[in-house]
Amino acid sequence: MYRKVLVKVGCMAAAVAVAAWWCGGCGRQSVSYADGEYTAQSSPDDRGGYGVITLTITQGRISACRYETFKKDGTLKDESYGKEPGHEGQENFYRKAQKAVESMKVYARKLVEVQDLDRVDAISGATISHDQFTEAAAQALEAAAAAAGPKH
Protein backbone atom coordinates (compact mmCIF):
# COMPACT_ATOMS: atom_id res chain seq x y z
CA MET A 1 0.00 0.00 0.00
CA TYR A 2 2.72 2.45 1.04
CA ARG A 3 4.69 1.62 -2.12
CA LYS A 4 1.65 2.33 -4.37
CA VAL A 5 1.20 5.74 -2.76
CA LEU A 6 4.89 6.58 -3.31
CA VAL A 7 4.67 5.52 -6.96
CA LYS A 8 1.53 7.62 -7.51
CA VAL A 9 3.10 10.66 -5.82
CA GLY A 10 6.26 10.21 -7.88
CA CYS A 11 4.28 9.99 -11.11
CA MET A 12 2.28 13.09 -10.21
CA ALA A 13 5.45 15.03 -9.43
CA ALA A 14 6.99 13.96 -12.74
CA ALA A 15 3.85 15.02 -14.61
CA VAL A 16 3.90 18.44 -12.95
CA ALA A 17 7.60 18.87 -13.77
CA VAL A 18 7.04 17.97 -17.43
CA ALA A 19 4.06 20.32 -17.66
CA ALA A 20 6.08 23.16 -16.12
CA TRP A 21 8.95 22.52 -18.53
CA TRP A 22 6.61 22.29 -21.53
CA CYS A 23 4.75 25.46 -20.63
CA GLY A 24 7.99 27.30 -19.83
CA GLY A 25 6.94 30.88 -20.36
CA CYS A 26 3.20 30.24 -20.74
CA GLY A 27 1.30 33.39 -19.94
CA ARG A 28 4.46 35.49 -19.88
CA GLN A 29 4.58 38.36 -22.25
CA SER A 30 7.92 39.40 -23.63
CA VAL A 31 8.83 43.03 -22.99
CA SER A 32 11.09 45.09 -25.24
CA TYR A 33 13.25 47.88 -23.88
CA ALA A 34 14.63 50.80 -25.87
CA ASP A 35 18.36 51.38 -25.56
CA GLY A 36 19.39 54.30 -23.37
CA GLU A 37 19.70 55.42 -19.76
CA TYR A 38 16.63 55.54 -17.54
CA THR A 39 16.56 57.10 -14.09
CA ALA A 40 13.81 56.83 -11.48
CA GLN A 41 13.35 57.63 -7.81
CA SER A 42 11.56 55.65 -5.10
CA SER A 43 9.06 57.00 -2.64
CA PRO A 44 10.59 58.14 0.66
CA ASP A 45 10.74 55.76 3.61
CA ASP A 46 9.43 56.68 7.08
CA ARG A 47 12.56 58.80 7.72
CA GLY A 48 12.40 60.56 4.36
CA GLY A 49 15.21 58.53 2.75
CA TYR A 50 14.82 57.56 -0.89
CA GLY A 51 16.58 55.62 -3.63
CA VAL A 52 17.61 56.62 -7.14
CA ILE A 53 18.28 54.08 -9.86
CA THR A 54 19.89 54.52 -13.27
CA LEU A 55 19.50 51.63 -15.67
CA THR A 56 21.44 51.36 -18.89
CA ILE A 57 19.73 49.34 -21.61
CA THR A 58 21.93 48.04 -24.45
CA GLN A 59 20.54 45.91 -27.26
CA GLY A 60 17.28 45.61 -25.34
CA ARG A 61 18.93 44.20 -22.18
CA ILE A 62 19.89 45.69 -18.82
CA SER A 63 23.63 46.18 -19.22
CA ALA A 64 24.27 48.33 -16.14
CA CYS A 65 22.48 49.36 -12.98
CA ARG A 66 23.48 52.01 -10.49
CA TYR A 67 21.38 52.33 -7.36
CA GLU A 68 22.05 54.78 -4.56
CA THR A 69 20.08 55.78 -1.51
CA PHE A 70 19.94 59.18 0.11
CA LYS A 71 18.93 60.60 3.45
CA LYS A 72 16.05 63.08 3.62
CA ASP A 73 18.49 65.98 3.22
CA GLY A 74 19.92 64.52 -0.01
CA THR A 75 23.12 63.19 1.59
CA LEU A 76 24.32 59.92 0.03
CA LYS A 77 24.11 56.90 2.32
CA ASP A 78 27.69 55.60 2.20
CA GLU A 79 30.28 54.03 4.51
CA SER A 80 29.64 56.76 7.09
CA TYR A 81 25.88 56.13 7.14
CA GLY A 82 24.85 55.13 10.67
CA LYS A 83 27.57 57.16 12.38
CA GLU A 84 25.49 60.34 12.57
CA PRO A 85 25.38 62.43 15.74
CA GLY A 86 23.07 60.83 18.26
CA HIS A 87 24.08 57.30 17.25
CA GLU A 88 27.59 57.30 18.72
CA GLY A 89 28.38 54.03 20.45
CA GLN A 90 25.45 52.27 18.82
CA GLU A 91 27.39 49.66 16.89
CA ASN A 92 24.24 47.65 16.20
CA PHE A 93 22.62 50.66 14.49
CA TYR A 94 25.74 51.18 12.37
CA ARG A 95 25.82 47.49 11.32
CA LYS A 96 22.17 47.63 10.25
CA ALA A 97 22.73 50.87 8.35
CA GLN A 98 25.73 49.42 6.56
CA LYS A 99 23.81 46.26 5.66
CA ALA A 100 21.31 48.49 3.85
CA VAL A 101 24.15 50.32 2.07
CA GLU A 102 25.73 47.04 0.95
CA SER A 103 22.37 45.74 -0.25
CA MET A 104 22.21 48.56 -2.81
CA LYS A 105 25.17 47.07 -4.66
CA VAL A 106 23.85 43.52 -4.37
CA TYR A 107 20.41 44.40 -5.73
CA ALA A 108 21.92 46.31 -8.66
CA ARG A 109 24.31 43.47 -9.59
CA LYS A 110 21.56 40.87 -9.30
CA LEU A 111 19.22 42.78 -11.62
CA VAL A 112 21.88 42.93 -14.34
CA GLU A 113 22.63 39.23 -13.82
CA VAL A 114 19.07 37.86 -13.91
CA GLN A 115 17.41 40.49 -16.16
CA ASP A 116 14.16 40.09 -14.22
CA LEU A 117 13.11 42.34 -11.34
CA ASP A 118 10.92 39.58 -9.87
CA ARG A 119 14.05 37.44 -9.40
CA VAL A 120 15.90 40.00 -7.26
CA ASP A 121 15.29 38.64 -3.76
CA ALA A 122 15.23 40.75 -0.63
CA ILE A 123 18.18 40.50 1.75
CA SER A 124 17.25 39.87 5.37
CA GLY A 125 17.59 43.12 7.27
CA ALA A 126 17.38 45.23 4.10
CA THR A 127 13.75 44.82 3.06
CA ILE A 128 12.93 48.53 3.02
CA SER A 129 15.92 49.01 0.72
CA HIS A 130 14.57 46.18 -1.46
CA ASP A 131 11.12 47.74 -1.61
CA GLN A 132 12.58 51.07 -2.66
CA PHE A 133 14.89 49.38 -5.18
CA THR A 134 12.06 47.44 -6.82
CA GLU A 135 9.84 50.52 -6.95
CA ALA A 136 12.49 52.65 -8.65
CA ALA A 137 13.62 49.82 -10.97
CA ALA A 138 10.03 49.13 -12.05
CA GLN A 139 9.59 52.82 -12.94
CA ALA A 140 12.82 52.87 -14.95
CA LEU A 141 11.92 49.65 -16.78
CA GLU A 142 8.44 50.98 -17.54
CA ALA A 143 10.04 54.07 -19.10
CA ALA A 144 12.38 51.88 -21.18
CA ALA A 145 9.44 49.74 -22.32
CA ALA A 146 7.37 52.82 -23.18
CA ALA A 147 10.26 54.23 -25.21
CA ALA A 148 10.45 50.96 -27.17
CA GLY A 149 6.80 51.34 -28.17
CA PRO A 150 4.32 48.56 -28.76
CA LYS A 151 5.72 45.15 -29.66
CA HIS A 152 4.51 43.66 -32.92
Calculate mean pLDDT across residues 46-74.
96
Residues 129, 107 contacting (CB under 8 angstroms): yes
> The whole model's pTM is what?
0.75
pLDDT tens digits, 34-50: 999 999 999 999 999 99
Residue type, 129: S
| Pick from 83, 79, 57: nearest CA to 68 | 79
d(CA 51, CA 71): 9
Residue type, 146: A
DSSP 8-state secondary structure symbol assigned to residue 118 = G
Q: Tell me the torsion sign for CA atoms 107, 65, 141, 152.
A: negative
pLDDT tens digits, 83-120: 877 766 677 888 888 888 899 999 999 999 999 999 99
User: Quick one: pLDDT at residue 89?
Assistant: 65
Separation in Å, CA 95 to CA 39, 74, 81, 99 = 29, 21, 10, 6
What residue ranges define each of the domains in the chain, with the CATH number in brackets? 36-148 (3.90.1010.20)
| Pick from 134, 126, 39, 133: nearest CA to 81 | 126
Residues 40, 31 contacting (CB under 8 angstroms): no
